[in-house]
Amino acid sequence: MMSGKYTSIDKQNVSGSVPAVPDPGHVAVKFQDSNLQTFPPTEAQGKISASGRPPCDADDTFSKPASSPDESQQSGWFKTFSVAAYKPYFDVDTSDVVSRIKDTLFPFSGAFNEKTDGNPDLYGPFWICTTLIFVAAAIGTFVTYVAHKLKNKEWDYDINLVTWSAGLFYGYVTVVPLSLYVILKYFSAPSGLVQLFCLYGYSLFVFIPALCLSVVPLEIFRWVVAGVAGFMSATFVASNLRAHIESAGRRWFLIVAGIFLLQLALAVVLKLYLFTVTV
């Protein structure tokens, strides 16, 4: 009885404490038209944005636009010690590298510098030199192995072929362009330093098939292959630097002669060291 009494009192208090809320009816909410715009995708997909492209000045400095507060604090030569400074030089895809390699097989066209102007890369030269190192070591080892086995001589693997090839190709593609950069700047015919690294790196591609063809055990054939490879590589470099060389004045012949002699010397060194077998 007591519980029923309290229950009825509680219901009356609850119903009396909550006022009735009138139904406002249908309320229409209006939104203002948005001003959002739809932008089409950019053409350079999978690459670094155009703001990070390398500069096009003749001195080829490392003055890239800063993309972060940390990079904006760096100035001068301190930028050369940051990874971000070299990102634009690896902004290439497979089609770019293949197209530039094809240009090396037509050395007289001289169109390589025009295609790479404003976007020289170091990706292709690095992998071309690295491939040359292992191809040279593998082919040289195979040639000496066959020569020893044909004469029933003992053969030992020479690990120095790898280190020697690495020092030769990495050193050549670094020291020679740097020296040529200084010479052209001295004759008031400057060319971009990274552009020279790119040009010389791709110029070594012709030595890869030349080394593979040198497996043929004919001494005359090997000399012919080395000579043709050296001539094609030197012609490729000289034809693409023709505008800079001609602006050097009457001493342009010395620059061309130096380019040819260095490329031919590289071919001769490869022939003598890798394919001169002493049993």
pLDDT confidence tier of residue 178, bands split at 50, 70 and 90: very high
Q: What is the pLDDT of residue 274?
A: 72
* Residue 157 forms part of a structural domain: yes
* Residue 181 forms part of a structural domain: yes
pLDDT digits (tens, 9 = 90+) for 190-240: 778 888 999 999 999 999 999 999 888 888 998 999 999 999 999 999 888
* Domain membership of residue 194 as a residue range: 96-275
Highest mean pLDDT among 73-82, 83-92, 175-184: 175-184
pLDDT confidence tier of residue 12, bands split at 50, 70 and 90: very low
Q: What is the pLDDT of residue 38?
A: 55
Mean pLDDT to the nearest integer, 8-33? 52
pLDDT confidence tier of residue 247, bands split at 50, 70 and 90: confident
* Minimum mean pLDDT range among 27-41, 148-162, 249-263: 27-41
* Residue 126 forms part of a structural domain: yes
Contact criterion met (CB below 8 Å) for 86 and 163: no
| Residue 139 backbone dihedrals phi, psi, to 5 degrees | -65, -45
pLDDT confidence tier of residue 25, bands split at 50, 70 and 90: low
pLDDT above 90: residue 131: yes
* Residue 141 forms part of a structural domain: yes
pLDDT confidence tier of residue 8, bands split at 50, 70 and 90: very low
* Residue 208 forms part of a structural domain: yes
How many domains in the chain? 1
* Residue 148 forms part of a structural domain: yes
Average pLDDT, the chain: 75
Supply the DSSP string of 48-76, one letter for each residue: --GGGPPP-STT----PPP-SHHHHT--G
pLDDT above 50: residue 185: yes
Q: What is the pLDDT of residue 91?
A: 81
Q: What is the pLDDT of residue 130?
A: 94
* Residue 198 forms part of a structural domain: yes
Q: What is the pLDDT of residue 74?
A: 52
pTM recorded for the entire structure: 0.70
pLDDT digits (tens, 9 = 90+) for 100-117: 999 999 888 878 888 888
Structure tokens at 177: 């362009």
Q: Which residues contact 143 (CB under 8 A, 6 or more apart)?
A: 214, 215, 217, 274, 275, 277
* Residue 167 forms part of a structural domain: yes
CA R_g for the chain:
34
pLDDT digits (tens, 9 = 90+) for 26-53: 555 554 555 555 555 555 455 544 444 4
Q: What is the pLDDT of residue 186?
A: 84
